A and B are shown apart, each in its own frame.
Chain A
Amino acid sequence: MSCEIIRSNVIANLEELAKSLGAAASGTEWHLFGSVNRGVPGASDIDLMIFCGSDAQADVLRHAIDPESLPLPLHLSLLTFNEAITINAASIQKSTVILRLAPIPA
């Protein structure tokens, strides 16, 4: 399987995962980085950062996301938007935003 197909499949799987989370994932931003994102041959895991609106949302997502549901092992980092901005996470990890989930109005 080509690197591009692997990347496309991983993104499709993550989109499906995000959809399955429903309101718990509303307002989050999903960043893919690392070997799958770079299209490195033989990528062995999925490096994913999810930027969350609050600590509580991050905790809920950690509990709700089942790493076994994905085709490759998931290396998941959950940060609040504030944390991500402070450490410049997206730029340092050279991540690609693959999903921006609309906030659900209160």
Chain B
Amino acid sequence: MASLTFENVTKRFDEVVAVDDLDLHIVDGEFMVLLGPSGCGKTTALRMIAGLEDITEGKLLIGDTVVNDVDPAKRDVSMVFQSYALYPHMTVHRNIESPLLVRKYHADGPDRPARKLTRAERNERVAEAARVLGLDELLRRKPAALSGGQRQRVALARAFVGRPQAFLMDEPLSNLDAKLRAATRLELVDLHRRVETTVVYVTHDQVEAMTMADRIAVMSTGRLQQVGTPQEVYEAPANLFVAQFIGTPPMNTLDGTLGSDGIDTGAGVVPVPPHLAGRLEGGRKLVVGVRPEHLTLTPGGPLEMAVRAVEWLGHECLVFGTTGGADAVVRQTGMAGVAAGDTARVAVEAADVHVFDPDTTERLA
């Protein structure tokens, strides 16, 4: 186990900046998810931890050691690849055993010199990893004879059999079907709790991030946007990008101007959130953000919404429409009570209103 630290790390591929001045501390034993759309630099950041990409500028630390120039094999991290990257010519047993064959381990206690494991020790560890991941029956098979989910487990077993300082995972669930993905999410969390290793997990899927992470680092265009617990990132997004990237459907936003009785959006007046009351100057331009579940359809609501479509999903329904020229979505449980073509009234509580600066896109707090 070890912490991981990016200190002002930049990665350039020729002229393209893939990771821009990244400062991020990943705590020992933490499940950290790097979340962002494709091309945001999350995978590059992960590959820099593994040592598969050089660092252009800045420092990367594993524990207290700067590892910029440390060989990938010496960093004591393991990785689960998107394609699983199993050795197709080896049996499951050999695949899992692979890191144990070459590396040296402090098998006689942390103070004793590291050595290669004996065959008996290797077999014991492989057996344990196979048991934890339910691969006992499959050890003699080759990867071609396994299902996608089984291959994924083999990749996980290979990654944690050597008890590395950190687990790196690059979209490990993206090749699984939806049902298996949901089941594997739970298993990964369970596995993390059991092995207590630092995990860095890259994904573009916010559901994976929200459900598994201790903390989420949201990235966009090579830059870190926000780091926080799933709750912090959802309830207090640092900027408009985070606000709209996290949550499905995304947060509704409306341009407005601060007036005497609230924020005037053109489609109605939205109340000012309590923590900002009296702190902003009148007439100031703002961007208002409200999550779909915080909008309610009420006859006397202050906002007007032209309903375009209603999606009923059983446990909830989504009402799509336009408010003040912008697209808006309302999420509510039960039936909507409105239909496409109607004009509805919508209300929002002051505490549920997020306010952003239109120029910097930063949250006003």
Same complex origin of A and B: no
Residues on B close to A: CB < 8 A? none
Chain A residues with a Cβ under 8 A of chain B = none
